[in-house]
Structure 1
Amino acid sequence: MTETRLPLSRDRILTAALTLADEEGLAALSMRKVAARLSVEAMSLYNHIGNKADILSGITDLVAGEIELPTPDFDWKGQMKARSLSAHRVLMRHSWAAAQFQQPGLPGPNMMTYLDATLGCLIAVGFTPAQADHARNTIDNHVYGFTLQRLTRPTRTREIARLAKKELKEISKSAYPSLYRRTEDLANATTPEVDDFDFGLDLILDGLDAMTRR
């Protein structure tokens, strides 16, 4: 019995490319490797995809489509917090994507929907379009920056303590007393600290809330 092969399409190519990027990183992403995953020749991809850059923008837009969208609501802070937490979770799943979200260029349809919904939520509570965009950018700087740090720095208490003990030997207690004290706290920690993603996000949202009350 002959096996029926699904027809090649842009969606199938991007789905395969997304899986490849998640598993092996962007350095491994190539037309040849994506084609191999689909059991086709690399040249056949060009009937649906322009080039590797087209694949990269396409899979970045797929990731944007996974993020929970905010809606205009009286509880706009709750909407923006849920949206930001969702973005953080999604970007942690796709560890290569946080850096790609910050690249210049015209975004894809999912990203434009995501940006439009965010601006709409903020404009609905009284921010001007310019203020809404500045607010969105400030929130996203926190989301992307925190995510990149979480992906590159140790997160387990034992690992953090081990690294802090090593760094403590290189810090002068007399020259940098506050830095020494903080590093000493981390070196002696036995339980995890409270996740500071919410801490930073709440500071931003509370500051924006104060703007709406003025």
Structure 2
Amino acid sequence: MPHGPAEVGVGPWEGPWPTGEQYDPELLAAGDRRNVVDRYRYWSLEAIVADLDTRRHGFHVAIENWQHDFNIGTIVRTANAFLAAEVHIVGNRRWNRRGAMVTDRYQHVRHHASVPELADHLHALPAPVRLLGIDNLPGSAHLETMAVPHDVCFLFGQEGPGLSEQARAVCDGTFSIAQFGSTRSINASSAAAIAMHAWVRAHADLGADPVWRG
């Protein structure tokens, strides 16, 4: 059974080169093997980020980073796919980038030393952003039935312990994801993807161009 092309992307541009500041001469000459959608083939990194910035969504994502969690990179990659406004890393500045698959180059990533610092930053934005943590805590709202705010930051704790006590104290609220099996929790990056997709279903313009569907 075939499994797609042997190489990712496209080779050198054939024929007269296109005009426009968005095009990268090196990519036009050598080919573009990056994992980007066809719209951005041969565009420079700066041009892609500038275009994304014109249409980023109203949600943010934050991850506590106390244990160098391998899920952080995967969450950043998913945040890029759903076009988050920003990703916030709380705690240790260094994080495991392997799972991001270089998508952190296209996604705004901001560091905060503590969750209170993150909360202060979000609340001080021109359009204040609510900080909602995800954890299976008593009193947590149910993601499946809650009204997902437009201006929101989803905060995720470490794999295993979940949200820190400091995070629980400063969050504007918490929510949980419905589960029906025997395990108490699901993978942090999976939970993040579910939360981001819930925002997309509630607020994104799904009829807009571009919406990448493959």
The reply to whether TM is greater than 0.5 is: no
Q: TM-score, normalised by structure 1?
A: 0.24
Structure whose residues are more often strand by fraction: 2
Larger Rg over CA atoms: 1
Pick the structure with more helix per residue: 1
